[in-house]
Amino acid sequence: MIRPLVAVLVAAVSFGVANGYTVDAEIPAGNIVVKSIEGDVVKLKQDFRDTPGHWIYWAFRVRGAAGRTLTFDFGDSAAVGSRGAAVSEDHGGHWRWSDFERDDPRDPVTGDHASYTTFTWKFGPDDNEVWFSQTFPYSQSDWEAFLAAHAADYGRVFVTNTLCLSKKGRPVEAGRFGRIDGKAKYRMFVTSRHHCAETTATFVMEGLLSAVFGDDELGRWMRENIEIRAVPFVDKDGVVDGDQGKNRRPYDHCRDYNDDKPSIHPEIKAIREMLEKWAKESGTPSVVMDLHCPWLRGSWLKKDDSNEYIYAVGIKDVEPQQRRICEILERVQESGSGFLASDYYAEGRGWNTGANYKAGSTLTQWAIRTWPDAPLVVCFEIPFANARRMTLMPPTFRLFGRDIALALKAYLEP
Ligand SMILES: [Zn+2]
């Protein structure tokens, strides 16, 4: 009887057990390495997996800490965003930012969570299991809930299909929305999660796609005029497994659109084939849009520090069209996310230089090379937690997606 008990204790310690509470990554898209637990201080870091160097994603749960106040300390590994941690007390059903309920120190000028590496949480007397994450999760179940809410329109306003199987054999979701009878005047392709941990981009995509169901002028126009093909989880395995996804060895999904070699990720190979076939059948795509998130956080007060506002990533060859969609978006936006056309991150500015694309080229760069006459090719970066002083949460991300739809209508039919 003694031997199995010893084995259980050894296994448990490796997941971080002390003082009666446990810390582990056994949640959807879980990701954490527990270094030590001493009293009420948990020392941990992100599980980088096949990402060389540092990246920012983590998600874990704490069980058995009811009534305690714990400090989570990532040491020298930047991990905590501008509004603290995303917290769920109902197994991922609802999430909120920890800073609304904690008095962790704030930056006196920006109001951001001051520490890049620590946050605290006070567990209520009945909080026996609490989940924490760097960002608001958006996973397959969220996508399925979105589709289920519109099930009555299936076959009429949207259909779903499988783009391909991932490397690990998982079906990669795809869908067609809007005018799906093949007679659409405009054809759009939109993606998120080329970098799997960039969850807030998928809330924006959902908001954009939701617009096709609207009983309003925008919804009617979209159902009459545009077919949108969407791939919400390009790096499907990373989304499910909770990988960083960024800078994967030898290169990640976002750098896999190269003319001189075949794509190494099955999703990218399938996207290229699908788009080329669609263009052959129906003509040049009207819009190709890729949605991303920037780095963890920053300061909008500093020159070229772009991590805390929504912006388009500039490509010089199509700068006029990209600036035009940004100007329209600033004018028509209703979400309150404070989008500014002047935040356009022109090629050559800050990090947006050739050095950033040495590993390979992106969906938007490939689309411009393949269809130089496409009316609009653009990538937006969606921050994790705020746009300047405004806190961002899923309802606002979705509304910004609708802002994009409003802007597209005005762009395509001025
Ligand atoms: Zn990205």
Residue 3 confidence (pLDDT) above 80: no
Which of 80-94, 325-339, 352-366 bottoms out in mean pLDDT, i.e. has the lowest? 352-366
Domain coordinates in residue numbering, the chain: 2-133, 140-412
Q: How confident is the model at residue 19 (pLDDT cuts 50, 70, 90)?
A: low
Q: How confident is the model at residue 225 (pLDDT cuts 50, 70, 90)?
A: very high
Q: Give the pLDDT confidence score for residue 325 in this predicted structure.
A: 98
Which of 89-93, 136-140, 350-354, 402-406 bottoms out in mean pLDDT, i.e. has the lowest? 350-354
Residue 143 burial (C-beta neighbours within 10 Å; 0-12, 13-18, 19+):
buried
Can you point out the beta strands (E) in 52-148?
59-63, 69-73, 86-88, 96-97, 118-122, 129-133
Average pLDDT, the chain: 95
CATH number of 2-133: 2.60.40.3120
Q: How far away, in angstroms, is 56 Cα from ligand 1 center?
A: 12
Q: Give the pLDDT confidence score for residue 17 in this predicted structure.
A: 60
pLDDT digits (tens, 9 = 90+) for 326-349: 999 999 999 999 999 999 999 999
Output the CA angle 346-82-391, nearest 5 degrees: 80
pLDDT digits (tens, 9 = 90+) for 123-175: 999 999 999 999 999 999 999 999 999 999 999 999 999 999 999 999 999 99
Q: What whole-number distance in Å separates Cα of residue 71 and Cα of residue 326?
A: 41
Say which residue, 6 or 20, is predicted with more confidence: 20
Q: How far away, in angstroms, is 76 Cα from ligand 1 center?
A: 23
Q: How far away, in angstroms, is 138 Cα from ligand 1 center?
A: 15
CATH 3.50.50.60 for domain 140-412, yes or no, is: no
Residue 93 burial (C-beta neighbours within 10 Å; 0-12, 13-18, 19+):
exposed
State mean pLDDT over 353-369: 93
State mean pLDDT over 377-396: 97
Q: What whole-number distance in Å separates Cα of residue 314 and Cα of residue 378?
A: 8
Q: For residue 303, report the phi and psi dihedrals to the nearest 5 degrees.
A: -60, 130
Q: How far away, in angstroms, is 199 Cα from ligand 1 center?
A: 10
pTM confidence score? 0.95
Q: How far away, in angstroms, is 196 Cα from ligand 1 center?
A: 8
Can you point out the beta strands (E) in 193-348?
226-231, 287-292, 311-312
- What residues have a C-beta under 5 A from ligand 1, the ion? 195, 198, 292
Q: How far away, in angstroms, is 291 Cα from ligand 1 center?
A: 8
Q: What whole-number distance in Å separates Cα of residue 106 and Cα of residue 66?
A: 26
Q: Give the pLDDT confidence score for residue 80 in this predicted structure.
A: 98
State mean pLDDT over 71-93: 98
Same topology between domain 2-133 and domain 140-412 = no
Residue 408 burial (C-beta neighbours within 10 Å; 0-12, 13-18, 19+):
buried
State mean pLDDT over 54-68: 97
Q: Give the pLDDT confidence score for residue 4 in this predicted structure.
A: 40
Q: For residue 237, report the phi and psi dihedrals to the nearest 5 degrees.
A: -65, -40
pLDDT digits (tens, 9 = 90+) for 308-317: 999 999 999 9
Q: How far away, in angstroms, is 182 Cα from ligand 1 center?
A: 31
DSSP state of 244: -
Q: Give the pLDDT confidence score for residue 354 in this predicted structure.
A: 86
Q: What whole-number distance in Å separates Cα of residue 45 and Cα of residue 371?
A: 43
Percent of the chain exceeding pLDDT 90 equals 94
Q: Give the pLDDT confidence score for residue 10 in this predicted structure.
A: 38
Q: Give the pLDDT confidence score for residue 356 in this predicted structure.
A: 85
